Structure 1
Amino acid sequence: MVGNWNEQDVPEQQGRIAVVTGGNAGLGFETARVLAARGATVILAVRDVEKGRQAARRMTGNLHVQALDLSSLVSIRAAAADLRSAHPRIDLLVNNAGVMYTPKQTTADGFELQFGTNHLGHFAFTGLLLECLLPVPGSRVVTVSSTGHRIQAAIHFDDLQFERSYSRMAAYGQSKLANLMFTYELQRRLAASGTTVAVAAHPGVSNTELVRNLPAALRHPVKWLAPLLTQKAEMGALPTLRAATDPSVAGGQYYGPGGLGEIRGFPKLVSSSRDSHDLVTQKRLWAISEELTGVTFSV
């Protein structure tokens, strides 16, 4: 049993190809930084290419930048086509990028922004890249969820896009619950392949720019309490890095901070909500996600 697992425990990654969505800032930056330092070729899949280039210059290793806007299916398809052409063999896909507690907005395709970006965008991106992962022994898809998957969280099949009424927290909770359900259903589908596995992680409460969309009433208290209630992005990225690289990880597992309430601490195997394991809901969500994105999986 590993104790205080940290970035020094990340195995050598020489020869591996890793794609990290949102790799230019916060948790994604720290994830990409460590993978590149350990020898992986890392592709920062980011919405703002210039910010991606600036981030790459702050890292050491073999880094590339790929334009990817997860709120646009056109962009997702274009990015996946570019990556399939440039990197037909991918060892690791880290679905990290996300938005949190945004005001009511829609994606380019008319989806509620948090569900469309956090879940549907990564669902489509993964499906379009899966052919590059399946032939690679030891390949992994790591999707970043949140403790928010427990808060006001349900899959609102009667109003997936929150068109009738909108709650920032409920929409975020739905998107993060969907991330876990996607991981568990994907793992079941991958099990027969014997090569690729799907794993989930969450960062606890990390001090990143995601909190910029908190309601005004919460923003000021959170700013002052942040040093006590949050951990730095370097620590928040550790569960993702462990899920991505620890040789003992198995498909369908979920990693998060080991401290009280999974708020802070070194990464360990954790459990997710009872709702996240509902097989009927997982399968229904998968079918609707295929229908909405037009992306079907080969497993």
Structure 2
Amino acid sequence: MSDWTAADLPSFAGRTVIVTGANSGLGLVTARELARVGATTILAVRNVDKGNTAAADMAGDVEVRQLDLQDLASIRKFAEGVDSVDVLVNNAGIMAVPYALTVDGFESQIGTNHLGHFALTNLLLPKVTDRVVTVSSFMHLMGRISIKDLNWKSRPYLAWPAYGQSKLANLLFTSELQRRLSAAGSPVKAVAAHPGYSATNLQSHSAGAFGRVFEVGNRVLATDADFGARQTLYAISEDVPGDSFIGPRYAMRGSTGQSPRSPLARNRGKAAALWTLSEKLTETEFPL
């Protein structure tokens, strides 16, 4: 374990990083710190006006580009506009929201948190030189992947299990991506991170009574966004093995380092099956 903080970030001069969902919360801090140390930082955001507001407070080379992870056409357009990138940070996400569908008919949490980033990663992968970092959650522990009903069409929708499924999908995606990168002889790494429990606007959109619970939890238990983003920044910058899962030592707090994952998150068969299904749903595939 490490007492590492964002102050320990090395120079990123001459390097390009894309951060999804970088207009608020963990993504904003991640982008701000990378820009501070010299990275050309692309804020990939759904709301460009909010992105521009966030970018105005960042020092360095910062660019705002529109990306809607709930729309495959938007993802393709964004990817076509990228020439090269050193690090892709799959940070954007929604948590425990009421049932809704994406433009392409996916349940919104699996669509945003997993399928959108899955498509983005595959479309950008030939242009990535260093690593793909995907932000998961220790709430993956409550996740179960339903290959037969990933989009909650034949079972009653439950907001928290749907969130857990999407965060478990992030880890299975990272593991299978690393397996494929290694098999292809690629030097690119796939790494995951989780923030612990950081107070951001993510919780404010949670469904039902849990939204009110988080109002209290954010004041009493949560760390700040700088602490949460520290885990992602470590995963971005440090020499960690592929398929690492970086987070706080004590799940929600503590020094930064390797974090445990559930047995379901280590299921290679499920990871492969999820990858195959995700390729079919997004009409994208591993390009290397």
Give the aligned partner of residue 166 of structure 2.
Answer: 175
Q: Which moved more, 1:67-76 or 1:219-228?
A: 219-228
- C-alpha deviation, 1:121, in angstroms: 0.1
Q: What is the one-letter code of the residue matched to 1:100? A: M
Cα distance in 2, alignment partners of residues 3 and 158 from structure 1: 41
Q: Does 1:80 align with 2:79?
A: yes
Asked if 2 retains the 8 angstrom alpha-carbon contact of 1:127 and 1:297, the reply is yes
Give the aligned partner of residue 90 of structure 1.
Answer: 85
Give the aligned partner of residue 269 of structure 1.
Answer: 258
Q: Secondary structure of the equivalent of 2:41? A: strand
Cα distance in 1, alignment partners of residues 113 and 80 from structure 2: 20
Cα distance in 1, alignment partners of residues 33 and 169 from structure 2: 27
Q: Residue 239 of structure 1 is aligned with which of 224, 227, 231?
A: 231
Q: Structure 1 vs Structure 2: percent identity of aligned residues? A: 46
Asked if 2 retains the 8 angstrom alpha-carbon contact of 1:26 and 1:208, the reply is yes
- C-alpha deviation, 1:266, in angstroms: 3.1
Cα distance in 2, alignment partners of residues 10 and 297 from structure 1: 31
- C-alpha deviation, 1:219, in angstroms: 2.7
Cα distance in 2, alignment partners of residues 30 and 194 from structure 1: 29
Deviations 1:146-185 (A, max 9, x none): 011111x111122111123100011101100000000000
Cα distance in 1, alignment partners of residues 208 and 135 from structure 2: 26
Q: Does 1:250 align with 2:241?
A: yes
- C-alpha deviation, 1:226, in angstroms: 1.9
Give the aligned partner of residue 53 of structure 1.
Answer: 52
Cα distance in 2, alignment partners of residues 8 and 221 from structure 1: 33
- C-alpha deviation, 1:221, in angstroms: 3.2
Q: What is the one-letter code of the residue matched to 1:120? A: L
Give the aligned partner of residue 227 of structure 1.
Answer: 219
Q: Secondary structure of the equivalent of 1:199? A: strand
- C-alpha deviation, 1:268, in angstroms: 1.2
Q: What is the one-letter code of the residue matched to 2:169? A: A
Q: Which moved more, 1:19-28 or 1:184-193?
A: 184-193
Give the aligned partner of residue 146 of structure 1.
Answer: 137
Give the aligned partner of residue 7 of structure 2.
Answer: 8
Q: Residue 158 of structure 1 is aligned with which of 148, 154, 162?
A: 148
Deviations 1:7-40 (A, max 9, x none): 0111111000000000110000000000000000
Q: Secondary structure of the equivalent of 1:140? A: strand
Give the aligned partner of residue 65 of structure 1.
Answer: 64
Cα distance in 2, alignment partners of residues 183 and 3 from structure 1: 23
Asked if 2 retains the 8 angstrom alpha-carbon contact of 1:235 and 1:265, the reply is no
Q: What is the one-letter code of the residue matched to 1:13? A: F
- C-alpha deviation, 1:223, in angstroms: 1.5
Q: Secondary structure of the equivalent of 1:156? A: coil
Return the TM-score normalized by structure 2: 0.97
Following superposition, which runs of at least 4 residues in structure 1 exceed 6 angstroms of deviation? Answer: none
Q: What is the one-letter code of the residue matched to 2:62? A: L
- C-alpha deviation, 1:228, in angstroms: 2.6
Give the aligned partner of residue 198 of structure 2.
Answer: 206
Gapped runs of 5+ residues in structure 1?
none
Gapped runs of 5+ residues in structure 2?
none
Are residues 4 and 82 of structure 1, via their aligned partners in 2, closer, same or farther at CA, if it must alter by over 3 Å? same
Cα distance in 2, alignment partners of residues 66 and 188 from structure 1: 30
Return the TM-score normalized by structure 1: 0.93
Cα distance in 2, alignment partners of residues 144 and 32 from structure 1: 14
Give the aligned partner of residue 28 of structure 1.
Answer: 27
State the aligned residue count.
286
Q: Which has the higher contact order (CA 8 A, sep 6+)?
A: 2
Q: Does 1:130 align with 2:113?
A: no
Q: Residue 105 of structure 1 is aligned with which of 100, 104, 107?
A: 100
Q: Secondary structure of the equivalent of 1:209? A: coil
Are residues 169 and 221 of structure 1, via their aligned partners in 2, closer, same or farther at CA, if it must alter by over 3 Å? closer
Cα distance in 2, alignment partners of residues 4 and 69 from structure 1: 35
Asked if 1 retains the 8 angstrom alpha-carbon contact of 2:110 and 2:162, the reply is yes
Cα distance in 1, alignment partners of residues 217 and 146 from structure 2: 32
Q: What is the one-letter code of the residue matched to 2:98? A: P
Q: Secondary structure of the equivalent of 1:66? A: strand
Cα distance in 2, alignment partners of residues 194 and 73 from structure 1: 26
Cα distance in 2, alignment partners of residues 3 and 212 from structure 1: 31
Cα distance in 1, alignment partners of residues 207 and 77 from structure 2: 34
